Amino acid sequence: MTVGVLALQGDFAAHARVLSDLGAEVREVRVPADLDGLDGLVMPGGESTTMTLGIEREGLGDPLRAFAATGAPIFGTCAGLIMLDREHLQIMDITARRNAFGRQVRSFEADLTFPDLDGPPVRAVFIRAPWIEDAGPSVEILAEVDGHPVAARQGSLFVIAFHPELGDDIRLHERFLADVRAHVGAP
Ligand SMILES: NC(=O)CC[C@H](N)C(=O)O
């Protein structure tokens, strides 16, 4: 089982570290050929304009859409959530609002309860975070802050507006890897 981390810009190294600590084989994705044979992909947080330019430069748009169409799990976090939306890669049926919490509230933490996660709430670190402004009928909202969706699922796509790679709560990465394992039919 090999999972990719989009490594054009942003917090990809921290994601790769968490995933390898959890026993996954991790590959950094920079060009389309890096997607070959991957069983899942993390789209990290960072800066979505820079990431968009990198995706265009490397010709990764169509390959990423084709990868998503195989049903392989994709975990989009913060800028990664933005990249998957209707205005960017058009992979997920959501519209993200960038820097949605306002310039004053650049970063904050919040406790989020996920319906399908055991144990205490997730201590979520938000950094110039987006929220989900609009979502289609096949999107399930999993968590909100002040009534604004910040975590959602649509089939094999799982997005959160915060940074799970900061801090020591590894449950969301574990959940992503469980999805990947289910996708490849591994025990
Ligand atoms: N921490 C993040 O990934 C922030 C995303 C950033 N505000 C953007 O629009 O790209």
**Measured between alpha carbons, how far is 40 from 69 in angstroms, rounded to an integer?**
12
Number of independent structural domains in the chain: 1
Decide whether any atom of ligand 1 lies within 6 Å of the 154 Cβ. no
Res 102: pLDDT: 82
Res 103: pLDDT: 66
Task: Report the CATH number at residue 82.
Answer: 3.40.50.880
User: What DSSP state is assigned to residue 185?
Assistant: T
Res 116: pLDDT: 84
Res 104: pLDDT: 58
Tell how many helices (H) and how many strands (E) occur in the chain. Answer: 5, 11
* Segments in the chain below pLDDT 70: 103-105
Decide whether any atom of ligand 1 lies within 6 Å of the 128 Cβ. yes
Atom number of ligand 1 nearest to Cα 98: 9
140 is catalytic: no
Which range marks the domain in which residue 157 is found? 2-184
Beta bridge partners of 43: 76
| pTM of the predicted structure, to 2 decimals | 0.96
